[in-house]
Amino acid sequence: MLLKPLIFALLLVVAPAISTADASSLAKAEALIAQGKDLAAISMLKRAVEESPDEYQAWFLLGVTQARKRHFDDAIAAFGKVAQLQPELAEPHNNLAVIYNEMGNLTAAVRELEASLKLNPDYVTAHENIGDLYVKLAARAYKDALSKQENAQLRNRYENLLRIRKPATVKQTTTERLVVDKKAEKVESPAVVSSPSEQALDAIEVWRSAWSSRNLDAYFASYAADFDPGTNFDSLEEWKVYKRAVISKRSFINVSINNIVVSEIAPGEIKAVFLQNFVADSFQSSNRKELLLKKVGESWKIAHEISN
């Protein structure tokens, strides 16, 4: 029985203070990634860091993309460069933990997460990851002990840990979610206003969390009143009846989002493209998802969605 993979934050690439040329390279690389052309994006980002070796955001996106293609040694070097350029950032250490966990080096993964939390004690993702990793280490230790000698108490502890991780008793994905974060900008005003992209990402996370927890009220609240349910349904109400039935019948749901790229296509409209992994009971699927979100009052709502 496999333990749940570590949980990682959404991929958000931002470049608040870089040259026009570098911003253009990042935008083009993001577009290639959205099209599934990771190798082309890697090639472009390598040229970008050769020309501007101090641009940590290009290094970060390079590491994310290399890790997704399982070029782990290259990704370790890229995130190491980010840590060198921006030693106050906790995120590259979290991402290194992702890679070391995937490589089976749990000791190194713990070391990187501890470094991440030392830099940012409020980093929720790293806290969650290290908690998951400790559970994984404990289960491994109990399993090793049981392989040498059967013990009822240890067997009970081991099985309890596996029950805690029940939603993850499926094949692990080869791509983990990695975090890219921008360096905090110094501002004179104490108030920090989130960008439209950041607000939309928050709305997507609320939607994902509501779906995973089977909170139907919150799930439906993520959609606009004029949401287009597609040609398979005659009305929005018919779509809601269908969704309510399929969500309610599941004993558990786990939705994860990988490699999300957001773009503002018009004022008040944002497109998000990502890989969606869905696990429920004995069912599992992975597909490319596209959401169109629009600003409704102070909130962002889903107006249209496409899966393929």
Mean pLDDT per 10-residue segment, the chain (308 residues): 32 37 75 85 90 91 87 91 93 89 86 93 86 84 86 83 50 35 36 69 88 92 93 92 92 86 90 91 87 94 92
The CATH number of whichever domain residue 200 belongs to comes to: 3.10.450.50
Are both 142 and 33 inside the same structural domain?
A: yes
Q: List C-alpha distances in Å: 10 to 164, 239, 258.
A: 24, 28, 7
pLDDT of residue 68: 83
Are both 38 and 92 inside the same structural domain?
A: yes
The structural domain count of the chain equals 2
Residue 188 located in a structural domain: no
Are both 164 and 203 inside the same structural domain?
A: no
Phi and psi torsions of 82, nearest 5°: -60, -45
Q: Which domain holds residue 101?
A: 20-168
pLDDT of residue 79: 93
Q: Does pTM surpass 0.85? A: no
The CATH number of whichever domain residue 144 belongs to comes to: 1.25.40.10
Are both 266 and 154 inside the same structural domain?
A: no
Residue 187 located in a structural domain: no
> What are the start-end ranges of the H helices in the chain?
20-34, 38-51, 56-68, 72-85, 91-103, 106-119, 124-148, 152-164, 196-212, 216-221, 236-248
Phi and psi torsions of 251, nearest 5°: -80, -25
pLDDT of residue 23: 65
pLDDT of residue 16: 35
